[in-house]
């Protein structure tokens, strides 16, 4: 009789272990689902890791400051590219040409990155469009993606932007005169970008946007220092 009881006890113990394991798996599955939902807050989607392990800006957390940073830095960068491209033909100083070429390459790439963020966040490129406004845009501003209400140096959130008069003066300059005017204007322009990037570092939520802001502060601060050295020897 004892021999018959032992197999029965073993079967009961095995069944209990299986049931406990099933409950543990169910609990783990519930916890993972909660984590996935939390990781996707801010964009309405789940978090997706990129190749370097960071979250995709399409799915990572973002806030109003991140959107504003991208919307305003894009036209700011476009104007920097517009200022820098003529240097290849109009500048006379070799270092000025090198700095201008580096600005064009870096900022065109950053424009593409920020445009992809806004697309993934389902946000327009223009802050005014985001507010439901459709301001009239001149052909000049339309070509460069700038809102006429934000073109001036004192425009809110667009520190360092050059006026149409500033841009016309740069386009008419050549040689040493171009080098000096370009250097002076780019210092102000970069200082405006640095100010905007520092604001993103303080108020932003998206990790990718904050990394770009940090890169802008570092790289453009270094370029400001180089432009000042160039102006000292011109």
**pLDDT of 129:** 53
Ranges of the chain whose pLDDT falls below 70: 1-60, 128-157
Distance CA 73, CA 157 (A): 9
Rg (CA), the chain: 28
**pLDDT of 211:** 97
Query: DSSP H helical segments within 121-158, as ranges?
Result: 127-130, 139-144
Distance CA 47, CA 147 (A): 33
**pLDDT of 150:** 38
Angle at CA 21, nearest 5°, toward 20 and 27? 90
Non-local (6+) Cβ contacts of 199 within 8 A are 65, 69
Q: Are 103 and 82 in contact (CB under 8 A)?
A: no
**pLDDT of 126:** 85
**pLDDT of 158:** 81
DSSP output for 68-116: HHHHHHHHHHHHHHHHHTTHHHHB--HHHHHHHHHHHHHHHHHHHHHHH
- Quick one: DSSP state of residue 49? B
**pLDDT of 127:** 74
For residue 67, the tally of other CB atoms under 10 A from its CB is 20
- Phi, then psi, of 140 in degrees rounded to 5: -65, -50
**pLDDT of 175:** 97
For residue 89, the tally of other CB atoms under 10 A from its CB is 9
């Amino acid at each position: 009789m004892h021999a018959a009881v032992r197999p029965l006890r073993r079967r009961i113990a095995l069944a209990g272990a299986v049931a406990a394991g099933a409950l543990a798996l169910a609990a783990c599955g519930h916890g993972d689902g909660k984590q996935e939902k939390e990781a996707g807050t801010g964009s309405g989607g789940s978090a997706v890791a990129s190749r370097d392990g960071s979250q995709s800006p399409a799915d990572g957390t973002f806030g109003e400051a991140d959107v504003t940073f991208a919307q305003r830095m894009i036209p700011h960068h476009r104007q920097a590219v517009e200022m820098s491209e003529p240097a290849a033909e109009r500048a006379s100083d070799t270092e000025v040409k090198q700095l201008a070429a580096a600005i064009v390459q870096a900022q065109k790439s950053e424009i593409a990155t920020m445009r992809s963020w806004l697309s993934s966040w389902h946000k327009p490129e223009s802050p005014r469009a985001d507010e439901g406004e459709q301001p009239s845009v001149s052909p000049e501003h339309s070509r460069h993606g700038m809102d006429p209400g934000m073109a001036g140096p004192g425009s809110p959130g667009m520190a360092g932007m050059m006026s149409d008069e500033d841009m016309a003066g740069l386009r008419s300059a050549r040689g040493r005169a171009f080098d000096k005017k370009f250097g002076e204007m780019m210092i102000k322009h970069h200082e405006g970008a640095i100010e905007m990037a520092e604001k993103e570092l303080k108020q932003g939520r998206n990790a990718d946007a904050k990394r770009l802001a940090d890169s802008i502060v570092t790289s453009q601060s270094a370029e400001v220092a180089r432009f000042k050295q160039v102006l000292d020897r011109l």
